[in-house]
Amino acid sequence: MLSLAAALPGQETPVAPYPDNLERLQGDNGFSRGFGDTNHSFSFDWFDSHAHLAWSHYPNLLKGGQIQEVIDRWLGYTGVYHSGRLILLDPYLETMEWAKNDPRVYVFWWLVWEQANQLPEIKRRVEAGLIQGLKLHTGDFRRKENPDYHVMGSEAWHKVYRYCEEADLPVLIHVNEHWGDQAYTYGRGAKKFWARAGYTNQELLDYCLSELVAKHPKVKWILAHMNFQGTETLSALFERYPNLYVDTSIGMFLREYDHLTAAEIEPYRKFCIRWADRIMFGTDVFAYHPLESSYPGSLHNWWLPHYIFISRLGLPQETLDKVTHGTCEAVLGKYLKKMPAEE
Ligand SMILES: [Zn+2]
Protein backbone atom coordinates (compact mmCIF):
# COMPACT_ATOMS: atom_id res chain seq x y z
CA MET A 1 0.00 0.00 0.00
CA LEU A 2 2.95 2.30 0.48
CA SER A 3 4.01 2.18 -3.13
CA LEU A 4 1.13 4.34 -4.28
CA ALA A 5 3.50 6.88 -5.77
CA ALA A 6 1.36 7.15 -8.86
CA ALA A 7 -2.35 7.71 -9.14
CA LEU A 8 -4.31 4.50 -9.40
CA PRO A 9 -7.29 4.19 -11.73
CA GLY A 10 -10.43 5.25 -9.97
CA GLN A 11 -8.52 7.07 -7.28
CA GLU A 12 -9.95 10.52 -6.65
CA THR A 13 -6.63 12.30 -6.16
CA PRO A 14 -3.07 11.04 -6.28
CA VAL A 15 -1.27 10.36 -3.04
CA ALA A 16 2.41 10.18 -2.17
CA PRO A 17 3.01 9.01 1.41
CA TYR A 18 5.56 10.75 3.57
CA PRO A 19 8.74 8.62 3.37
CA ASP A 20 8.85 7.86 7.09
CA ASN A 21 5.44 6.15 6.93
CA LEU A 22 7.37 3.10 5.76
CA GLU A 23 9.39 3.00 8.99
CA ARG A 24 6.24 2.84 11.09
CA LEU A 25 4.81 0.10 8.92
CA GLN A 26 7.77 -2.22 9.31
CA GLY A 27 9.83 -1.00 12.26
CA ASP A 28 9.36 -2.13 15.87
CA ASN A 29 7.48 -5.20 14.69
CA GLY A 30 4.85 -2.93 13.18
CA PHE A 31 3.78 -1.58 16.57
CA SER A 32 2.64 1.75 15.06
CA ARG A 33 1.28 0.26 11.83
CA GLY A 34 -1.58 2.45 10.62
CA PHE A 35 -0.64 5.39 12.81
CA GLY A 36 -0.15 8.55 10.73
CA ASP A 37 -0.90 6.68 7.52
CA THR A 38 -2.42 9.82 6.05
CA ASN A 39 0.86 11.75 6.32
CA HIS A 40 1.61 12.76 2.77
CA SER A 41 4.85 13.92 1.24
CA PHE A 42 5.46 17.50 2.31
CA SER A 43 8.11 20.15 1.91
CA PHE A 44 9.47 21.97 4.93
CA ASP A 45 11.41 24.38 2.75
CA TRP A 46 9.68 26.68 0.25
CA PHE A 47 12.19 28.93 -1.52
CA ASP A 48 10.28 31.72 -3.31
CA SER A 49 12.15 32.34 -6.55
CA HIS A 50 10.03 35.28 -7.70
CA ALA A 51 9.33 38.15 -5.28
CA HIS A 52 9.15 41.94 -5.56
CA LEU A 53 9.54 44.03 -2.45
CA ALA A 54 11.73 47.08 -2.94
CA TRP A 55 10.18 47.84 -6.31
CA SER A 56 6.60 47.16 -5.29
CA HIS A 57 5.86 50.75 -4.26
CA TYR A 58 7.33 52.17 -7.48
CA PRO A 59 8.28 54.96 -8.02
CA ASN A 60 9.03 55.05 -4.28
CA LEU A 61 11.82 52.77 -3.23
CA LEU A 62 11.27 50.71 -0.12
CA LYS A 63 14.36 51.09 2.05
CA GLY A 64 16.27 48.25 3.65
CA GLY A 65 14.58 48.62 7.03
CA GLN A 66 11.15 48.68 5.43
CA ILE A 67 11.93 45.65 3.31
CA GLN A 68 13.17 43.93 6.44
CA GLU A 69 9.85 44.71 8.08
CA VAL A 70 7.87 43.38 5.14
CA ILE A 71 9.97 40.26 4.84
CA ASP A 72 9.76 39.54 8.55
CA ARG A 73 6.02 40.04 8.54
CA TRP A 74 5.62 38.06 5.36
CA LEU A 75 7.79 35.23 6.61
CA GLY A 76 5.89 35.45 9.87
CA TYR A 77 2.61 34.81 8.08
CA THR A 78 4.01 32.15 5.82
CA GLY A 79 6.30 30.71 8.48
CA VAL A 80 3.62 28.30 9.51
CA TYR A 81 4.00 26.92 6.03
CA HIS A 82 7.75 26.65 6.42
CA SER A 83 8.95 29.42 4.17
CA GLY A 84 12.37 30.84 4.53
CA ARG A 85 14.24 32.14 1.54
CA LEU A 86 13.37 34.32 -1.41
CA ILE A 87 14.78 35.98 -4.52
CA LEU A 88 13.93 39.66 -4.90
CA LEU A 89 13.67 40.97 -8.45
CA ASP A 90 14.54 44.59 -7.86
CA PRO A 91 16.61 47.31 -9.52
CA TYR A 92 17.99 49.22 -6.53
CA LEU A 93 21.60 49.19 -5.37
CA GLU A 94 20.44 50.10 -1.89
CA THR A 95 18.33 46.92 -1.74
CA MET A 96 21.29 44.85 -2.86
CA GLU A 97 23.54 46.37 -0.22
CA TRP A 98 20.95 45.70 2.43
CA ALA A 99 20.27 42.12 1.27
CA LYS A 100 23.93 41.20 0.98
CA ASN A 101 24.29 40.09 4.55
CA ASP A 102 20.92 38.40 4.92
CA PRO A 103 21.35 34.70 4.11
CA ARG A 104 17.63 34.37 3.35
CA VAL A 105 17.51 37.09 0.73
CA TYR A 106 18.84 37.05 -2.84
CA VAL A 107 18.59 39.80 -5.44
CA PHE A 108 18.39 39.44 -9.20
CA TRP A 109 19.16 42.86 -10.70
CA TRP A 110 16.16 44.02 -12.73
CA LEU A 111 17.69 45.72 -15.76
CA VAL A 112 15.93 47.56 -18.56
CA TRP A 113 17.01 47.09 -22.15
CA GLU A 114 18.89 50.41 -22.26
CA GLN A 115 21.29 49.08 -19.63
CA ALA A 116 23.50 46.69 -21.62
CA ASN A 117 26.25 49.25 -21.08
CA GLN A 118 26.13 48.39 -17.38
CA LEU A 119 28.29 45.28 -17.86
CA PRO A 120 31.22 46.58 -15.76
CA GLU A 121 28.78 47.42 -12.98
CA ILE A 122 27.10 44.00 -13.29
CA LYS A 123 30.51 42.39 -12.82
CA ARG A 124 31.28 44.60 -9.86
CA ARG A 125 28.00 43.80 -8.14
CA VAL A 126 28.36 40.06 -8.74
CA GLU A 127 31.90 40.06 -7.40
CA ALA A 128 30.86 42.14 -4.41
CA GLY A 129 28.13 39.63 -3.55
CA LEU A 130 25.40 42.20 -4.17
CA ILE A 131 23.49 40.23 -6.83
CA GLN A 132 23.08 36.56 -7.64
CA GLY A 133 21.35 36.86 -11.03
CA LEU A 134 19.72 39.18 -13.56
CA LYS A 135 16.07 39.88 -14.29
CA LEU A 136 14.91 41.01 -17.74
CA HIS A 137 11.40 41.89 -18.82
CA THR A 138 10.11 42.36 -22.36
CA GLY A 139 7.26 44.44 -20.87
CA ASP A 140 9.59 47.40 -21.41
CA PHE A 141 8.75 47.17 -25.11
CA ARG A 142 5.11 47.86 -24.31
CA ARG A 143 6.00 51.37 -23.20
CA LYS A 144 7.76 52.14 -26.49
CA GLU A 145 6.18 53.98 -29.41
CA ASN A 146 7.49 51.44 -31.91
CA PRO A 147 8.18 48.31 -29.91
CA ASP A 148 11.14 46.38 -31.27
CA TYR A 149 12.36 43.32 -29.45
CA HIS A 150 15.58 42.91 -31.47
CA VAL A 151 17.47 44.90 -28.84
CA MET A 152 17.54 41.63 -26.86
CA GLY A 153 19.94 40.27 -29.45
CA SER A 154 22.19 43.33 -29.75
CA GLU A 155 25.95 42.88 -29.52
CA ALA A 156 26.01 44.76 -26.22
CA TRP A 157 23.51 42.31 -24.72
CA HIS A 158 25.37 39.31 -26.12
CA LYS A 159 28.38 40.58 -24.18
CA VAL A 160 26.28 40.56 -21.03
CA TYR A 161 25.03 37.03 -21.76
CA ARG A 162 28.60 35.87 -22.42
CA TYR A 163 29.58 37.20 -19.03
CA CYS A 164 26.63 35.34 -17.48
CA GLU A 165 27.97 32.14 -19.07
CA GLU A 166 31.44 32.72 -17.67
CA ALA A 167 30.19 33.70 -14.23
CA ASP A 168 27.46 31.01 -14.13
CA LEU A 169 24.98 33.80 -13.39
CA PRO A 170 21.30 32.84 -13.84
CA VAL A 171 18.93 35.09 -15.81
CA LEU A 172 15.22 35.26 -15.10
CA ILE A 173 13.37 36.61 -18.11
CA HIS A 174 9.73 37.58 -18.47
CA VAL A 175 9.24 36.98 -22.20
CA ASN A 176 5.58 36.79 -23.20
CA GLU A 177 2.33 38.49 -22.25
CA HIS A 178 -1.30 37.51 -21.82
CA TRP A 179 -3.63 38.11 -24.69
CA GLY A 180 -6.78 38.46 -22.57
CA ASP A 181 -7.35 38.98 -18.87
CA GLN A 182 -6.84 36.30 -16.27
CA ALA A 183 -8.94 37.67 -13.43
CA TYR A 184 -8.47 34.49 -11.36
CA THR A 185 -4.81 35.45 -10.82
CA TYR A 186 -5.35 39.24 -10.99
CA GLY A 187 -3.81 39.23 -14.49
CA ARG A 188 -4.67 42.00 -16.90
CA GLY A 189 -4.44 41.31 -20.61
CA ALA A 190 -2.32 43.20 -23.12
CA LYS A 191 -4.71 43.36 -26.06
CA LYS A 192 -4.08 47.05 -26.64
CA PHE A 193 -0.37 46.43 -26.83
CA TRP A 194 -0.78 43.49 -29.17
CA ALA A 195 -2.94 45.61 -31.46
CA ARG A 196 0.06 47.85 -32.21
CA ALA A 197 2.97 45.51 -31.44
CA GLY A 198 3.68 44.39 -35.00
CA TYR A 199 4.71 40.95 -33.75
CA THR A 200 3.11 37.98 -32.00
CA ASN A 201 3.82 36.15 -28.76
CA GLN A 202 5.24 33.24 -30.75
CA GLU A 203 7.57 35.45 -32.80
CA LEU A 204 8.89 37.05 -29.64
CA LEU A 205 9.45 33.67 -27.98
CA ASP A 206 11.10 32.19 -31.07
CA TYR A 207 13.51 35.10 -31.22
CA CYS A 208 14.31 34.80 -27.53
CA LEU A 209 14.93 31.06 -27.83
CA SER A 210 17.10 31.20 -30.94
CA GLU A 211 18.99 34.39 -30.11
CA LEU A 212 19.42 34.14 -26.33
CA VAL A 213 18.75 30.62 -25.06
CA ALA A 214 20.33 28.65 -27.93
CA LYS A 215 23.30 30.97 -28.43
CA HIS A 216 24.15 30.97 -24.72
CA PRO A 217 23.63 27.36 -23.70
CA LYS A 218 25.58 27.69 -20.48
CA VAL A 219 23.28 30.39 -19.13
CA LYS A 220 20.42 29.10 -16.98
CA TRP A 221 17.44 30.93 -18.45
CA ILE A 222 14.37 31.01 -16.22
CA LEU A 223 11.08 31.82 -17.94
CA ALA A 224 8.96 33.80 -15.47
CA HIS A 225 5.34 32.76 -14.83
CA MET A 226 5.74 29.49 -16.80
CA ASN A 227 5.83 31.88 -19.74
CA PHE A 228 2.00 31.84 -19.73
CA GLN A 229 2.11 28.46 -21.47
CA GLY A 230 0.70 25.02 -20.80
CA THR A 231 2.54 21.95 -19.61
CA GLU A 232 2.63 20.30 -23.04
CA THR A 233 4.27 23.29 -24.71
CA LEU A 234 6.73 23.75 -21.86
CA SER A 235 7.67 20.07 -21.94
CA ALA A 236 8.58 20.40 -25.61
CA LEU A 237 10.70 23.48 -24.83
CA PHE A 238 12.48 21.70 -21.96
CA GLU A 239 13.16 18.76 -24.26
CA ARG A 240 14.77 21.05 -26.79
CA TYR A 241 16.65 23.46 -24.49
CA PRO A 242 18.44 21.84 -21.54
CA ASN A 243 19.30 25.27 -20.11
CA LEU A 244 15.67 26.37 -19.76
CA TYR A 245 13.78 26.67 -16.44
CA VAL A 246 10.43 28.08 -15.29
CA ASP A 247 9.10 29.57 -12.10
CA THR A 248 5.59 28.53 -11.07
CA SER A 249 4.26 31.98 -10.16
CA ILE A 250 0.83 32.65 -11.69
CA GLY A 251 1.10 29.39 -13.64
CA MET A 252 0.35 27.04 -10.73
CA PHE A 253 -2.27 28.96 -8.81
CA LEU A 254 -5.26 27.64 -6.87
CA ARG A 255 -7.45 29.81 -4.70
CA GLU A 256 -8.32 28.83 -1.16
CA TYR A 257 -11.41 26.56 -1.08
CA ASP A 258 -11.12 25.89 -4.80
CA HIS A 259 -10.08 22.43 -5.93
CA LEU A 260 -8.49 20.51 -8.77
CA THR A 261 -10.13 17.50 -10.36
CA ALA A 262 -8.11 14.30 -10.86
CA ALA A 263 -8.10 15.02 -14.60
CA GLU A 264 -6.72 18.51 -14.00
CA ILE A 265 -4.04 17.23 -11.64
CA GLU A 266 -2.70 14.58 -13.98
CA PRO A 267 -0.86 16.69 -16.58
CA TYR A 268 0.65 19.01 -13.96
CA ARG A 269 1.71 16.06 -11.82
CA LYS A 270 3.39 14.34 -14.76
CA PHE A 271 5.01 17.61 -15.77
CA CYS A 272 6.44 18.18 -12.27
CA ILE A 273 7.75 14.62 -11.94
CA ARG A 274 9.34 14.64 -15.40
CA TRP A 275 10.80 18.14 -15.19
CA ALA A 276 11.41 18.69 -11.45
CA ASP A 277 14.97 19.78 -12.21
CA ARG A 278 13.62 22.71 -14.25
CA ILE A 279 10.75 23.94 -12.10
CA MET A 280 11.10 26.51 -9.33
CA PHE A 281 8.40 27.52 -6.87
CA GLY A 282 7.62 31.26 -7.08
CA THR A 283 4.80 33.62 -6.05
CA ASP A 284 5.32 37.08 -7.63
CA VAL A 285 4.52 38.53 -4.18
CA PHE A 286 4.84 42.26 -3.59
CA ALA A 287 4.55 44.56 -0.58
CA TYR A 288 1.13 46.01 0.10
CA HIS A 289 -0.01 49.60 0.60
CA PRO A 290 0.16 50.99 3.12
CA LEU A 291 3.32 49.40 4.38
CA GLU A 292 2.09 49.61 7.95
CA SER A 293 -0.99 47.60 7.10
CA SER A 294 -1.19 44.29 8.83
CA TYR A 295 -3.42 42.98 6.04
CA PRO A 296 -1.97 39.58 5.24
CA GLY A 297 -2.49 40.04 1.51
CA SER A 298 0.74 38.34 0.64
CA LEU A 299 -0.43 35.18 2.35
CA HIS A 300 -3.91 34.95 0.90
CA ASN A 301 -3.30 36.45 -2.52
CA TRP A 302 0.15 35.13 -3.35
CA TRP A 303 1.58 32.56 -1.02
CA LEU A 304 -1.38 30.27 -0.42
CA PRO A 305 -2.66 29.99 -4.02
CA HIS A 306 0.77 28.83 -5.18
CA TYR A 307 1.42 26.64 -2.17
CA ILE A 308 -2.01 25.00 -2.36
CA PHE A 309 -1.73 24.17 -6.05
CA ILE A 310 1.57 22.34 -5.66
CA SER A 311 0.41 20.60 -2.48
CA ARG A 312 -2.68 19.28 -4.30
CA LEU A 313 -0.59 17.44 -6.89
CA GLY A 314 0.36 14.62 -4.50
CA LEU A 315 3.95 14.70 -5.68
CA PRO A 316 6.53 12.18 -4.52
CA GLN A 317 8.85 13.60 -1.85
CA GLU A 318 11.84 13.78 -4.18
CA THR A 319 9.90 15.83 -6.76
CA LEU A 320 8.41 18.08 -4.12
CA ASP A 321 11.83 18.81 -2.61
CA LYS A 322 13.15 19.87 -6.00
CA VAL A 323 10.17 22.03 -6.98
CA THR A 324 9.96 23.78 -3.60
CA HIS A 325 13.67 24.51 -3.13
CA GLY A 326 16.15 22.04 -4.67
CA THR A 327 15.98 23.33 -8.24
CA CYS A 328 16.28 26.92 -7.07
CA GLU A 329 19.37 25.98 -5.05
CA ALA A 330 20.87 24.23 -8.08
CA VAL A 331 20.17 27.22 -10.33
CA LEU A 332 21.84 29.56 -7.84
CA GLY A 333 24.78 27.17 -7.77
CA LYS A 334 27.88 28.89 -6.46
CA TYR A 335 25.80 31.91 -5.44
CA LEU A 336 23.85 29.91 -2.88
CA LYS A 337 24.26 31.54 0.54
CA LYS A 338 25.03 29.51 3.64
CA MET A 339 22.27 29.59 6.22
CA PRO A 340 23.54 30.18 9.78
CA ALA A 341 22.67 26.67 10.89
CA GLU A 342 24.93 25.20 8.22
CA GLU A 343 28.01 27.19 9.16
ZN1 LIG B 1 7.12 39.48 -11.22
Span from the CA of 270 to the centroid of ligand 1 (angstroms): 26
Coil, strand or helix at 293: coil
**Cα(224)–Cα(247) distance, rounded to whole angstroms?**
5
Span from the CA of 316 to the centroid of ligand 1 (angstroms): 28
Q: For residue 188, tell me if it sits in a domain.
A: yes
Asked if 133 and 254 sit in the same domain, the reply is yes
Span from the CA of 240 to the centroid of ligand 1 (angstroms): 25
Q: Give pLDDT tens digits for 52-81.
A: 877 666 666 777 778 777 777 777 766 655
Span from the CA of 42 to the centroid of ligand 1 (angstroms): 26
Span from the CA of 235 to the centroid of ligand 1 (angstroms): 22
Span from the CA of 328 to the centroid of ligand 1 (angstroms): 16
Asked if 166 and 127 sit in the same domain, the reply is yes
**Cα(77)–Cα(137) distance, rounded to whole angstroms?**
29
User: What integer is the mean pLDDT of 257-279?
Assistant: 96
Residues 6+ apart with CB under 8 A from 206: none
CA 111 to chain CA mean position, Å: 18
Asked if 123 and 27 sit in the same domain, the reply is no
Asked if 25 and 78 sit in the same domain, the reply is no
Q: Give pLDDT tens digits for 158-196.
A: 999 999 999 999 999 999 988 888 899 988 888 888 888
Asked if 231 and 203 sit in the same domain, the reply is yes
Check pLDDT > 70 for residue 4. no
Q: What are phi and psi of 118, to 5 degrees?
A: -85, 10
Q: How many domains does the chain have?
A: 2
The larger pLDDT score, comparing residue 118 to residue 302, is at 118
Span from the CA of 139 to the centroid of ligand 1 (angstroms): 11
User: What integer is the mean pLDDT of 13-24?
Assistant: 89
- Per-residue confidence (pLDDT) for residue 126, from 0 to 100: 98
Span from the CA of 284 to the centroid of ligand 1 (angstroms): 5
User: What integer is the mean pLDDT of 12-26?
Assistant: 87
Q: Give pLDDT tens digits for 297-334.
A: 777 888 889 999 999 999 999 999 999 999 999 999 99
- Return the closest-CA partner of residue 221 out of 268, 178, 174, 176: 174
Question: What percent of the chain has pLDDT above 70?
Answer: 89
The larger pLDDT score, comparing residue 340 to residue 39, is at 39
Asked if 228 and 279 sit in the same domain, the reply is yes
Span from the CA of 53 to the centroid of ligand 1 (angstroms): 10
- Per-residue confidence (pLDDT) for residue 59, from 0 to 100: 64
User: What integer is the mean pLDDT of 16-45?
Assistant: 91
The secondary structure element, H or E, covering residue 208 is: helix 201-208
What type of residue is 55?
A: W
Span from the CA of 294 to the centroid of ligand 1 (angstroms): 22
Span from the CA of 230 to the centroid of ligand 1 (angstroms): 18
Asked if 90 and 178 sit in the same domain, the reply is yes
Asked if 185 and 309 sit in the same domain, the reply is yes
Asked if 136 and 33 sit in the same domain, the reply is no
Among the residue ranges 81-90, 97-106, 212-221, the one predicted with the least confidence is 81-90
Span from the CA of 250 to the centroid of ligand 1 (angstroms): 9
Span from the CA of 254 to the centroid of ligand 1 (angstroms): 18
User: What integer is the mean pLDDT of 120-147?
Assistant: 92
294 falls in which pLDDT band (50, 70, 90)?
A: low
Span from the CA of 155 to the centroid of ligand 1 (angstroms): 26
Span from the CA of 321 to the centroid of ligand 1 (angstroms): 23
CA distance to 34, 44, 71, 101, 119, per residue, from 134 (Å): 49, 27, 21, 19, 11
Q: Give pLDDT tens digits for 273-284.
A: 999 999 999 999
Asked if 255 and 216 sit in the same domain, the reply is yes
- Give the domain range for residue 265: 45-338
Near ion ligand 1, which residues have CB within 5 Å?
Answer: 284
SS (H, E, C) 58-125: CCCCCCHHHHHHHHHHHHHHHHCCCEEEEEEEECCHHHHHHHCCCCCEEEEEECCHHHHHHHHHHHHH
Span from the CA of 118 to the centroid of ligand 1 (angstroms): 22
235 falls in which pLDDT band (50, 70, 90)?
A: very high
Span from the CA of 50 to the centroid of ligand 1 (angstroms): 6
Span from the CA of 246 to the centroid of ligand 1 (angstroms): 13
